[in-house]
Chains A and B, each alone.
Chain A
Amino acid sequence: MTDATLTSQLTAGSRPSAFARNLAHFRYVMTSNPVTFLAFVLCAGMILVALFGPMLVPHDPLATLSDKALKPPSWDHWFGTDQLGRDVFSRVVVATRLDLLISVSAVAISFVCGAAMGACAGYWGGWFDKLSGRFLDTIMAFPLFVLAMGIVAAAGNTIQNIVIATAIINLPFYARVARAEVSIRRNAGYVQAARLSGNSELRILMFKILPNTLPPMMVQLSLNMGWAILNAAGLSFIGLGVRPPTAEWGIMVAEGANYIISGEWWLALFPGAALMLAVFTFNLLGDGLRDLVDPQRRT
């Protein structure tokens, strides 16, 4: 810990304008590519909705009003009401928090575990590399969604298990990227130099190599984020995962799907659109995130 603070002091002391530089770099990445800018705006909007949405919604997402069931979008109910008379707009907004929470924590877990596993395999090789490689192959050999279904069905229908299942099926992607990126840098010049400077092997892996693998990992991260949302929604859609009456996009689409035939399209359309927007945002975010963490992009 002391070393980390020391390094940061060294940086901070010598670069009073480090924050300003980062800000300038952020501004450059945003202005150089309008798509990236759009993605960051959408992402920020989604985070704000997740944080403050439940306080701002006009109706209680769980309150049922039987006299108002299945009303089309109107001034009172922007996205209409569902079969129990619940306000669809409020439910879509409130669901943002849960969906983001599931996907962010699932992706965070698989990022940390996958990166650690892949990095060790790529750096030291040997039996751990072989063992972890076959383990990942085993995961990849399953149809991933079916694997997630199996895990949730076996372990129980809780949010925690959805997160774990999503994390497990995403694990191989991070582990593979991390392994490849680490193994090409294992004997790079600056790594040899770090050995000569007296760094231990673990420290070299953690502080010299891993930060340099961030740019490709970031792309993977944001792509997987969209995927994780879809996965969580998919599990709920088939009845595994979040249980009604909790507001969640996947469940809402599943429940709404029954009513599309009878003409009540708004039940499934709006949560589906929210889901699509979220996936779209995270997929666009990838390039921008990579540009942000790539030192070569700085002038």
Chain B
Amino acid sequence: MTTQLHNPPLLSVTDLCVEFATRKGPVTAVRSVNLQIAKGETLGIVGESGSGKSVTSYAVMRILDRAGRIVSGGIEFGGMPLHNADEATMSDLRGREISMIFQNPRAALNPIRTVGKQIEDVLIRHAQTNHEMAKAKAIEALEHVRIRDAAQRYHAYPFELSGGMCQRVVIAIALACKPQLLIADEPTTGLDVTTQKAVMELVRDLTRSQGMSTLLITHDLGLAGEYCDRIVVMEKGEVVEQQDTRRLFVAPAHPYTRRLIRSTPHAAQSIRDLLPEDLRLPPPPAAPVVDMSVPLLEVRDLVKAFDPPGGFLQRLKMRGSSAALPMRAVDGISFSIARGESVGLVGESGCGKSTTSAMVMRLLDSTSGSIRFKGTELTTVPAAEFSRSPLRRELQMVFQDPHESLNPRATAAQSIADPLLRIEGMREAAAIRARVEQLAVQVGLQLELLDRLPHQLSGGQKARVGIARAIATKPELLILDEPTAALDVSVQAVVLNLLADLKAEFGMSYLFVSHDLEVVRLLCDRVIVMRAGSIVEEGATAQVLSAPKAEYTKELLSAIPRPAHLPRQVEAPVQVAQA
């Protein structure tokens, strides 16, 4: 950026080192980080978990937790040193000069105060207004972040608003005092792609119109590529590369940056392309031919309706209104999965995809409709009794959050052994141990990790434990519920490849539930797009993604952040398919 030469940077961080005191002595989380943000510039910090990107921003805000401290280095904001500023100075600056948006908007808002009052608090704290004017200003701030009916929303509590709306309120709070620098720490992680697009565009428009600088912290290279002027890539507490966005994508200098760009799914043509070059595996063995004539799973007119909230009296009061009707989370959907096929089930949160997979897995009873697995009707056995069914071993699932799906008190070996004990009825400790080790080898989990507890394993290792547990009984149908949503991109690349290899090896069928169309493109033969409990589009993956018929699919596709500079290779095979 040439402007940098003329303007002194708004924020400059020099040789920053941050240490955390832990049980095993001090751990350096950030080492000698240098970065500068010019006025009006948007800088992205990209890195995987543990890279120190959030810690750097916390150090700038001086909100490191008690164990962390700035060991050396300087932080200057508009010529003013922050690294040794006292708490009173910092609390004046926070919110007025530097604001922050956090990852989980719901957690960042006070649940028992209306959103309007929370905006007022900030305004009054920084003497931007008095009590008489506060309400009008707060409503103005809400209108500013494009919340409709702002005067009514002023009285809303955070739980009454959707995730995207909450994030808008957080942005309104952050921008209420017109700060010079906005730090956005993973502002859209956990939001749907269409919401993500709306929120990011809002941030971009508002910061541009006010000439603010933005520091965007994200794990998503695509997001940073689309919205940032310059990108800093961090790995293990160090800055490995700092470049203009275009140059970073066109000519990445550092091998880590190249690896990161590789593992971002949009650029890849096949699933193997995600892996770093030196780790390239042989192409997966040719998948067994999908026999479409014999469906493994057949779902017909499946419905799940939830009773409206409230007790009997409340329902009586609401009689006749639409709120009194049962909510149909899944509204009569039909699809089938052939043996050896992998089908993607795509949709945004609340579209009913998780409810569908829970019903197919027999974790949840359906309201009506039929689920036939290998010709056997599954809905006749209630979900609560399905654990004794002989079909239990054929239907298994890999859960979304690898951490939450492992019992915190059980070692990896105990978690993997659970289905062996309960379903296979294995009783001999040595035999179980041998089978557990065999499974660990199949999913690429080092044997010495088997005796660790979940919190002692990394995200990728936990994902492998979850996969090993799911394939322990050699199921025919495996539901993958966003298996990589909680993982870093490089780990996601490895896990996706593992899943593809396992499928080829054991001839399993996959139902891949995801919100990420790019991942579905790489792994699935067919894709089903769901919205509000119904299927809006269904077809071969290449066809749906390249020539979507439904408006909603088009909207989903266009919302995926896609930096212009990132070479995209999906068109090529599609043209072949069409020809």
Q: Which of B433-485 contact A (CB under 8 A)?
A: 433, 450-451, 453, 455-456, 466, 469-470
Q: Is A193 an interface position by the 8 A CB rule?
A: yes
Contact between A296 and B408, CB atoms less than 8 A apart: yes
Chain A, residues 14-52, CB within 8 Å of chain B (1/0): the string is 110000000000001000100000000000000000000
Which has the most chain B C-beta neighbours within 10 Å: A11, A198, A199, A295? A198
Report which of B363, B395, B405, B418 forms a contact with A199, defined as CB distance below 8 A.
B418
CB distance from B111 to the nearest CB of A (A): 16
Report which of A28, A198, A298 forms a contact with B422, defined as CB distance below 8 A.
A198
With contacts A15-B451, A196-B419 taken as known, whether A10 is within 8 angstroms of B414 at the C-beta atoms is yes
Report which of B23, B387, B393, B469 forms a contact with A299, defined as CB distance below 8 A.
B23
CB distance from A12 to the nearest CB of B (A): 9
Contact between A6 and B421, CB atoms less than 8 A apart: yes
Contact between B451 and A14, CB atoms less than 8 A apart: yes
CA separation between A198 and B387, bound complex, in Å? 4
Q: Is B212 an interface position by the 8 A CB rule?
A: no
Q: Is B542 an interface position by the 8 A CB rule?
A: no
Which residues on the A side are within 8 Å of B455 (C-beta)? 295-296, 298
Name the residue of chain A whose CB is nearest to the CB of B395.
A196
Chain B, residues 374-399, CB within 8 Å of chain A (1/0): the string is 00000000001001100011011101
Contact between A28 and B23, CB atoms less than 8 A apart: yes
CA separation between A200 and B385, bound complex, in Å? 8
Q: Is B417 an interface position by the 8 A CB rule?
A: yes
Contact between A193 and B399, CB atoms less than 8 A apart: yes
With contacts A193-B469, A197-B422, A295-B409 taken as known, whether A13 is within 8 angstroms of B399 at the C-beta atoms is no
Q: Is B429 an interface position by the 8 A CB rule?
A: yes
Q: Is A246 an interface position by the 8 A CB rule?
A: no
Report which of B399, B421, B430, B453 forms a contact with A189, defined as CB distance below 8 A.
B399
Contact between A10 and B404, CB atoms less than 8 A apart: no
Contact between B453 and A298, CB atoms less than 8 A apart: yes
Contact between B414 and A196, CB atoms less than 8 A apart: no
Name the residue of chain A whose CB is nearest to the CB of B422.
A198
Which residues on the A side are within 8 Å of B470 (C-beta)? 196
Q: Is A212 an interface position by the 8 A CB rule?
A: yes
Q: Is A194 an interface position by the 8 A CB rule?
A: yes
Contact between B418 and A197, CB atoms less than 8 A apart: yes
CA separation between A229 and B451, bound complex, in Å? 41
CA separation between A201 and B422, bound complex, in Å? 12
Q: Is B257 an interface position by the 8 A CB rule?
A: no
Contact between A10 and B456, CB atoms less than 8 A apart: no
Q: Is A195 an interface position by the 8 A CB rule?
A: yes
Q: Is A59 an interface position by the 8 A CB rule?
A: no
CA separation between A209 and B404, bound complex, in Å? 13
Which residues on the B side are within 8 Å of A32 (C-beta)? 23
CB distance from A289 to the nearest CB of B (A): 16
Which residues on the A side are within 8 Å of B401 (C-beta)? 189
CA separation between A13 and B418, bound complex, in Å? 16
Q: Which of B396-434 contact A (CB under 8 A)?
A: 396-397, 399-401, 404-409, 411, 413-415, 417-419, 421-423, 427, 429-430, 432-433
Contact between B427 and A198, CB atoms less than 8 A apart: no
Which residues on the B side are within 8 Å of A212 (C-beta)? 407-409
Contact between B400 and A189, CB atoms less than 8 A apart: yes
Q: Is B24 an interface position by the 8 A CB rule?
A: yes
Name the residue of chain A whose CB is nearest to the CB of B437.
A14
With contacts A14-B451, A198-B423, A298-B453 taken as known, whether A193 is within 8 angstroms of B417 at the C-beta atoms is no
Which residues on the B side are within 8 Å of A201 (C-beta)? 384, 387
Q: Is B517 an interface position by the 8 A CB rule?
A: no
Q: Is B361 an interface position by the 8 A CB rule?
A: yes
CA separation between A201 and B432, bound complex, in Å? 23
Name the residue of chain B whose CB is nearest to the CB of A28.
B23
CB distance from A77 to the nearest CB of B (A): 49
Report which of B393, B405, B422, B430 forms a contact with A13, defined as CB distance below 8 A.
B430
Which residues on the B side are within 8 Å of A208 (C-beta)? 407
Which residues on the A side are within 8 Å of B417 (C-beta)? 10
CA separation between A39 and B423, bound complex, in Å? 45
Name the residue of chain A whose CB is nearest to the CB of B428.
A6
With contacts A10-B414, A196-B361 taken as known, whether A188 is within 8 angstroms of B421 at the C-beta atoms is no
Main secondary structure of the interface of B (DSSP, over half): helix
CA separation between A200 and B421, bound complex, in Å? 12
Chain A, residues 122-161, CB within 8 Å of chain B (1/0): the string is 0000000000000000000000000000000000000000
CA separation between A212 and B408, bound complex, in Å? 7
Contact between A193 and B466, CB atoms less than 8 A apart: yes
Contact between A192 and B363, CB atoms less than 8 A apart: yes
Contact between B433 and A13, CB atoms less than 8 A apart: yes
Which residues on the A side are within 8 Å of B408 (C-beta)? 190, 212, 295-296
CB distance from A200 to the nearest CB of B (A): 6
CA separation between A196 and B395, bound complex, in Å? 8
CB distance from A214 to the nearest CB of B (A): 9
CA separation between A63 and B248, bound complex, in Å? 91
With contacts A10-B417, A14-B433, A193-B405 taken as known, whether A200 is within 8 angstroms of B456 at the C-beta atoms is no
Contact between B433 and A10, CB atoms less than 8 A apart: yes
Name the residue of chain B whose CB is nearest to the CB of A188.
B404
Contact between B399 and A192, CB atoms less than 8 A apart: yes
Name the residue of chain A whose CB is nearest to the CB of B392.
A198
CA separation between A201 and B385, bound complex, in Å? 9
Report which of A6, A14, A197 forms a contact with B469, defined as CB distance below 8 A.
A197
Which residues on the B side are within 8 Å of A296 (C-beta)? 408, 455
CB distance from A259 to the nearest CB of B (A): 51
CA separation between A37 and B413, bound complex, in Å? 33
Chain A, residues 266-299, CB within 8 Å of chain B (1/0): the string is 0000000000000000000000000000011011
Q: Which of A193-221 contact B (CB under 8 A)?
A: 193-201, 203, 208, 211-212
With contacts A10-B432, A188-B404, A295-B408 taken as known, whether A198 is within 8 angstroms of B419 at the C-beta atoms is yes
Q: Which of B534-572 contact A (CB under 8 A)?
A: none
Which residues on the B side are within 8 Å of A192 (C-beta)? 363, 397, 399, 405
Contact between B407 and A196, CB atoms less than 8 A apart: no
CB distance from B260 to the nearest CB of A (A): 28
CA separation between A32 and B417, bound complex, in Å? 34
Contact between B404 and A196, CB atoms less than 8 A apart: no
Which residues on the A side are within 8 Å of B393 (C-beta)? 198
Q: Is A9 an interface position by the 8 A CB rule?
A: yes
CB distance from A206 to the nearest CB of B (A): 13
* 29 A–B contacts from the bound complex (CB under 8 Å): A7-B414, A7-B421, A10-B417, A13-B429, A28-B23, A189-B404, A189-B405, A189-B406, A190-B404, A190-B405, A190-B415, A192-B399, A192-B405, A193-B397, A193-B405, A193-B406, A193-B418, A195-B363, A196-B361, A196-B363, A196-B396, A196-B397, A196-B419, A198-B392, A198-B419, A200-B387, A212-B409, A296-B408, A298-B456
- In the complex, given contacts A2-B427, A3-B421, A14-B411, what are 4 additional A-B residue pairs having Cβ atoms less than 8 angstroms apart? A11-B411, A195-B363, A198-B393, A295-B455
Closest 7 CB pairs of A and B: A189-B405, A198-B422, A189-B404, A197-B419, A198-B423, A197-B418, A9-B429
**Chain A interface (Cβ < 8 Å from any Cβ of B):** 2-3, 6-7, 9-11, 13-15, 28, 32, 188-190, 192-201, 203, 208, 211-212, 295-296, 298-299
